[in-house]
Every structure is written in structure tokens, then in C-alpha cells.
């Protein structure tokens, strides 16, 4: 059975629905749990116009605070909480390998095209992961 679960979260309001599934899987498997959230970098050309460095820094700080609250809710130590900046898929997969996760849990809320089936991030994780991936379909 699973020994280490990585919960990849976008920290939206829909996260609560997935938390129930994560708790259930952790309880069922007694696995260790890690959390990851990825902040997508803002486009480089925006820096000249918007003071994006300040905005990006604020997004990172807000994400750290939110992941800490989630960690407290799920009893996950600070050393197992990750906020990364970069391309979502590659950062999640890198963290999964570094913590030796054997299951990644993420939400799926795509609404059109290939995304209708999984969602583009969930689809990318599924095809790039070296471990099992559980995508939780979010309610409409």
C-alpha cells in the first residue's frame, strides 16, 4: 500500500472537497503526507509595466500562509510543506521524486477539450509521474 502521499493543491475554495479524499486515503493507508503548491511565475514582459515583482512576492507569501494553514488542518509538519515557483507540472513532479512519494493526489476541474477529462495540470502530472496519481474530480 502507499507509504508517502503528495497532495498537490491549487489552494482554491474547492480544496476542501479534495481534503476529505486526502484524509480518507491517508487514514486508509497510514501513509506520510506532504503538501505542495506551485505559484506560476508571471510573464517577464509584465515586470516593466506592473511592478510584478511585488505582486509575485505577495502571491508567494500568501501561498506560504495558506499551505501552513492547510498543514495545520492536516497535521503535516512544516518540513513537508512546499511552495514552489515555476511550471506547475515540473515542480510537482520534482517534489514527488524528492520526497519519494508513491501517490500524488490532485484535483481536476477542466471543462473543455482534453481538459474536460482531466484538466491540463492533472493530465500533465498523470503522464509525467513515476508513481501513481489520483485525480479527484471536483463537483460542477
Q: What is the pLDDT of residues 63-93, one digit of tens each?
A: 999 999 999 999 999 999 999 999 999 999 9
Q: How far apart are CA 11 and CA 16, in angstroms?
A: 9
- Residue 5 and residue 103 in contact, taking contact as beta carbons nearer than 8 Å: yes
Q: Residue 8 belongs to what H/E stretch?
A: strand 4-8
- pLDDT value at 112 more than 80: no
This prediction has a pTM of 0.86
Q: How many domains does the chain have?
A: 1
- pLDDT value at 113 more than 90: no
Question: CATH number, domain at 38?
Answer: 3.40.50.620
Q: What would the mean pLDDT of 44-48 be, rounded to a whole number?
A: 53
Residue 58 binned pLDDT confidence (cut-offs 50, 70, 90) = confident
Q: How far apart are CA 47 and CA 30, in angstroms?
A: 45
- Residue 33 and residue 7 in contact, taking contact as beta carbons nearer than 8 Å: yes
Amino acid at each position: 500500500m502507499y507509504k508517502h502521499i503528495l497532495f498537490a493543491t491549487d489552494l482554491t475554495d474547492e480544496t476542501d472537497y479534495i481534503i476529505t479524499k486526502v484524509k480518507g486515503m491517508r487514514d486508509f493507508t497510514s501513509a506520510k503526507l506532504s503538501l505542495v503548491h506551485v505559484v506560476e511565475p508571471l510573464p517577464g514582459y509584465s515586470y516593466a509595466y506592473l511592478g510584478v515583482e511585488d505582486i509575485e512576492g505577495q502571491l508567494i507569501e500568501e501561498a506560504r500562509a495558506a499551505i501552513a494553514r492547510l498543514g495545520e488542518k492536516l497535521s503535516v509538519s512544516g518540513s513537508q510543506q512546499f511552495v514552489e515557483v515555476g511550471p506547475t507540472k515540473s515542480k510537482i513532479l520534482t517534489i514527488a521524486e524528492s520526497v519519494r512519494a508513491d501517490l500524488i493526489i490532485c484535483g481536476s476541474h477542466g471543462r473543455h477539450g482534453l481538459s474536460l477529462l482531466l484538466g491540463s495540470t492533472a493530465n500533465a502530472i498523470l503522464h509525467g509521474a513515476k508513481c501513481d496519481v489520483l485525480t479527484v474530480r471536483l463537483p460542477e
